[in-house]
Structure 1
Amino acid sequence: MMQFTGNPSHSLHQIAPFSIPTMNKNQIHQARPWPGFPTSKGLASFGDANCMEQLLVHCANAIESNDATLAQQIIWVLNNIAPPDGDSNQRLTSAFLRALIVRAAKSGSCKMLAAMANAHRNLSVETHTFSVIELANFVDLTPWHRFGFTTANAAILEAVEGYSVIHIVDLSSTYCMQIPTLIDAIANRFEGPPLVKLTVPGVPKDVPPLLDLTYEELGSKLVNFARSRNVMLEFRAVPSTHADGFASLIDQLRLQHLVYAEAGEALVINCHMMLHYIPEETSSPLPNTNSNPYTFQPTSNPSLRTMFLKALRGLNPTIAILVDEDADLTSNNLVCRLRSAFNYLWIPYDTVDTFLPIGSKQRQWYEANICWKVENVIAHEGLQRVERVESKSRWVQRMRNAEFRGVSFGDETASEVKTMLDEHAAGWGLKKEDDDLVLTWKGHNVVFATAWVPG
């Protein structure tokens, strides 16, 4: 857990209550369903997750084909069977319904629905901006991030044993929340603590979770925390963003590699749920060679994601850790993407009942972040659609193609993870797939952790 001290912020941004506005009589005959369809009192049979998924698929097809009447009828049904304050499946479906209407408003298809969306402000998703203490407590609520922190830290500690200088490049979606625990472990090394250099991309994220500190302020807190553990920490934020594959960061790391490669410095690349924001093959391709943010010229037309991994390999890191969500949200086909997201994002809705009470502020923040993800996956296209999660198997292939070789997590690491999971609900589990570890919920893959060295 993050061990900073400070006063938590109490400001709250949440999702406004969601309702589908009623059209006037001339538009859709009082928004009644098609002839013969059950009234709202007879919709109980439509309440299971499979039926809700099918209705969402039909709604998506109707919106994409500009069939406003059919879309309105399906929305009427979904709005009656999936209230935003219902059970986990209903809240999940409500989030997808909201995202589909936002998509209609953005694309201009189904102009009637677009007018509805634009007339009602309750479709917006407002995410909370965390204080450091709030975020530290937030990520500790569930193994979703703690699993990655635990596996990564164990692999890093083993890889850097004996080094007097450790350079950690932290590509994390959680603002270095993993680092204090790692510093604690490093401080207790038998041979004494090393010098730790910590480099992060220093452009504020535009995806949740959001933090109310600048990177300079965050770095100052980390340096002070390390000093309290008798560890010397150098913190550096390099202006760089996922949108161009962290090209500026790579350039800076190349320069440092030239200087320090022969000095016995361990280079650790820690990627925690950040790389899936780098554009991949289904994003808009690089329009010409002049737009290539990297200094080398590719031999074909790879994605920024591929180029980034090859650039990492060129740095010859001591170890690279890749932790991410185990799903595929990259399809350019809306229905395929909707199905994949629906069959993955039920998990955070299902788990929240085990650790956050209904009506709590943290639960509102948690579900707002999920709604943001759903909207980004469903309502946006092109470079605006940044939630491009890929499956573990796809990432493994990418890493191998970049000439990395996988290394196995030890039994001690698995034991640490199991101990951590004992602090949470019984549905969480751990399994090993080849060299990798996978966090599960009720047997379903959630997050994977992989470790790599140059091949």
Structure 2
Amino acid sequence: MKQTQTHQRTRPWPGFPTSKSSSLGSFGDTNCMEQLLVHCANAIESNDATLAQQILWVLNNIAPPDGDSNQRLTCGFLRALIARAAKNGTCKLLAAMANAHCNLALHTHKFTVMELASFVDLTPWHRFGFTAANAAILEAVEGYSVIHIVDLSLTHCMQIPTLVDALANRFEVAPLIKLTVVDAKEDAPPTLDLSHEELGSKLINFARSRNVMMEFRVVHSSYADGFSSLIEQLRVQHLVYAESGEALVINCHMMLHYVPEETLPGINPNANSNPYNNFEPSSSSLSSSCMSSLRTMFLKSLRSLDPTVVVLVDEDVDLTSNNLVCRLRSAFNYLWIPYDTVDTFLPKGSTQRQWYEADIYWKIENVIAHEGLQRVERLEPKTRWVQRMRNANFRGISFGEEAASEVRAMLDEHAAGWGLKKEEDDLVLTWKGHNVVFATAWMPV
């Protein structure tokens, strides 16, 4: 590949047919596709429009949007690189390529509640976290008559009905559930076609059908400032639920990685506009080193609320690098998984498959085409989250064999490639042996 790249700088890429054929040779190899994407990213970053155009043209011919899983994966990155080139002004010589991918502005589907429920059930990607989290929550809230659940979830409370069912079946007298959700206002898929108030009404009615009383509350807060409004309101309520003996459950399902982390420039811990300057966690003061990260500050603020349990579920990959090529490699070697799995359960051309892959592409485009505050897909691996939680003075809760058995039973409903492994206290969902999603549970030290 190094020889090829040097050669191509001296003359244009050789012509390739526009249709798939054997003459593409090793260019269809996944490793070669990754290398071409890397070379293209470097060309865009160095403003070498000629080389970028040549590589993009080759990629366009070897990665059709309706090809196999690796071709569709590569096509997603191709489109994202074109979008980045357009933002950087490198696109002046890419007009033909841009026209070929005129649908760069991704329009994700707005789900009805029933559509989203079915969509979430397609794979264990979310169900794994639901099942593991519910098991940890049920064990932690044993003996409480009132449970306050703060649901920071990407899936619009799709976990809550399963938790309500579990509470109704586990306890002779079901506890009162106080459910708080965040209206973050930012558009991260999947999106729902109804308001939080309408969603709350449906959840309350569902709970009532299971003889469970529920209160529902929406807090308008943004992950861009570390959910400062949510933290402020929870702090005000802290004495109330502490005195009344309520259990406080913080359920974080694939949303905390949207909170800015250290690599994001422009966070000034001493600025008057910093939302956490008004907060004084009772457990400990925040050092200036911690103040540089809203992610760290948020976790320490949660600790100051003395929650009964915090459940953290997220995707096990590192997409935080400020270096485009590093992010591209990490994303490419992780996001092949959803493209690979989709072939096992959704037919080519199906509407649900279009929805599913549109969500993957949204993530690819955000990781590759955006920078600064617009780049919100800042996923971190499990090891780093574990360290963050320990630094915030939490200790891990081990998932028992009962929780693992429930997860395995759920996985039996899906394709054979899905698996479960236990890493110390935590559970990890795997696809063909590769880590996909982790589930961790925590309580204050």
Please give the range of the TM-score, normalised by the shorter of the 2 chains.
over 0.9
Q: Does 1:440 align with 2:434?
A: no
For 2:306, the equivalent position in structure 1 comes to: 316
Superposition pairs of residues 360-399 of structure 1, within 5 angstroms = 360-399=350-389
For 1:173, the equivalent position in structure 2 comes to: 154
For 1:125, the equivalent position in structure 2 comes to: 106
CA contact under 8 A between 1:195 and 1:232: conserved in structure 2?
yes
For 1:292, the equivalent position in structure 2 comes to: 274
Q: SS in structure 2 opposite 1:234?
A: strand
Q: Does 1:208 align with 2:189?
A: yes
Q: SS in structure 2 opposite 1:198?
A: strand
Q: CA RMSD in A?
A: 1.8
Q: SS in structure 1 opposite 2:170?
A: coil
Deviations 1:326-373 (A, max 9, x none): 000010000000000000000000000111111110000000110111
Q: SS in structure 2 opposite 1:188?
A: helix
| Partner Cα distance (1:73, 1:226) in 2 | 58
Q: Are the structure 2 counterparts of residues 308 and 36 from structure 1 closer, same or farther at C-alpha, using a change threshold of 3 Å?
A: closer
CA contact under 8 A between 1:172 and 1:274: conserved in structure 2?
yes
Q: Does 1:278 align with 2:259?
A: yes
| Partner Cα distance (1:371, 1:190) in 2 | 42
CA contact under 8 A between 1:43 and 1:81: conserved in structure 2?
yes
Report how far residue 36 of structure 1 moved.
Answer: 7.4
Report how far residue 284 of structure 1 moved.
Answer: 2.4
Q: SS in structure 2 opposite 1:122?
A: coil
CA contact under 8 A between 2:12 and 2:54: conserved in structure 1?
no
Q: SS in structure 2 opposite 1:227?
A: helix
**AA aligned opposite 1:450:** T
Report how far residue 264 of structure 1 moved.
Answer: 1.0
TM-score between both structures, scaled by the size of structure 2: 0.92
| Partner Cα distance (2:14, 2:66) in 1 | 25
Stretch moving more, 434-443 or 68-77: 68-77
| Partner Cα distance (2:421, 2:170) in 1 | 29
Deviations 1:206-233 (A, max 9, x none): 1000000100000010011111111110
Structure 1 residue runs of 5 or longer lacking an equivalent are 1-30
CA contact under 8 A between 2:226 and 2:260: conserved in structure 1?
yes
| Partner Cα distance (1:120, 1:176) in 2 | 35
CA contact under 8 A between 2:85 and 2:91: conserved in structure 1?
yes
Report how far residue 415 of structure 1 moved.
Answer: 0.4
Give the total of aligned pairs.
425
**AA aligned opposite 2:279:** F
CA contact under 8 A between 1:63 and 1:110: conserved in structure 2?
no
Identity of matched residues, %: 79
Stretch moving more, 34-43 or 395-404: 34-43
CA contact under 8 A between 1:169 and 1:270: conserved in structure 2?
yes
Report how far residue 109 of structure 1 moved.
Answer: 3.1
CA contact under 8 A between 2:184 and 2:223: conserved in structure 1?
no
Q: Are the structure 2 counterparts of residues 88 and 373 from structure 1 closer, same or farther at C-alpha, using a change threshold of 3 Å?
A: same
Superposition pairs of residues 15-414 of structure 1, within 5 angstroms = 34=11, 37=14, 39-40=16-17, 42-113=23-94, 117=98, 121-287=102-268, 288-294=270-276, 295-296=278-279, 298-300=286-288, 301-414=291-404
| Partner Cα distance (2:188, 2:223) in 1 | 11
Report how far residue 120 of structure 1 moved.
Answer: 6.0
| Partner Cα distance (1:203, 1:335) in 2 | 30
Report how far residue 265 of structure 1 moved.
Answer: 0.5
Report how far residue 305 of structure 1 moved.
Answer: 0.4
Stretch moving more, 108-117 or 308-317: 108-117
Structure 2 residue runs of 5 or longer lacking an equivalent are 1-7, 281-285
Q: Are the structure 2 counterparts of residues 118 and 252 from structure 1 closer, same or farther at C-alpha, using a change threshold of 3 Å?
A: farther
Report how far residue 396 of structure 1 moved.
Answer: 0.3
Report how far residue 123 of structure 1 moved.
Answer: 2.1
| Partner Cα distance (1:76, 1:260) in 2 | 61
Q: SS in structure 2 opposite 1:166?
A: strand
Report how far residue 286 of structure 1 moved.
Answer: 1.9
Report how far residue 190 of structure 1 moved.
Answer: 3.6
| Partner Cα distance (1:454, 1:372) in 2 | 35
CA contact under 8 A between 1:101 and 1:114: conserved in structure 2?
no
**AA aligned opposite 2:90:** S
CA contact under 8 A between 1:44 and 1:81: conserved in structure 2?
no
| Partner Cα distance (1:289, 1:145) in 2 | 38
Q: SS in structure 2 opposite 1:235?
A: strand
TM-score between both structures, scaled by the size of structure 1: 0.90
Q: Does 1:421 align with 2:411?
A: yes
CA contact under 8 A between 1:439 and 1:448: conserved in structure 2?
yes
CA contact under 8 A between 2:251 and 2:312: conserved in structure 1?
yes
